[in-house]
Amino acid sequence: MLEVGMRLEVEKVVTENDTAAKAASGAVEVLATPFMIAWMEEASLHLAQKELENGLTTVGTEVNIKHLKGTLVGKTVKIISVLKEIDRKKLVFDVEALEDGVVVGTGTHTRFIIDPVKFFEKLKNTK
């Protein structure tokens, strides 16, 4: 059962494939903002998914993230997602990325609980 305050921490090592230069979001070899955000979304997805009933999942709908500090290739980043709000099918997470205890990214991420079968049927029937 989903509950406010639930938390998930994951660690990711920054590789050359995770850089701004690779993501075409910059020209330097540091963790790209789009990859940091993807890691935050992934942590939030896994946090919610482990508590949902079979057949349900979530989709991301909003990110409000600040990328505060560059992170070099080879460094480990801890991603923390905390469920801060539940409003029916809407889930809001506080998310952070830390390198050696220093916050390098912070913000919120919103996801909605969906039934994938109904979700795709609706998309197919939308003009």
State pTM to two decimals. 0.95
The per-residue pLDDT for range 96-125, each reduced to its tens digit, is 999 999 999 999 999 999 999 999 999 998
Banded model confidence at residue 42, pLDDT cuts 50, 70, 90 = very high
Q: Helix, strand, or coil here: 1? A: coil
The residues with which 76 forms a beta bridge, in sequence order, are: 13
Return the number of other C-beta atoms located less than 10 Å from residue 105's C-beta.
Answer: 23
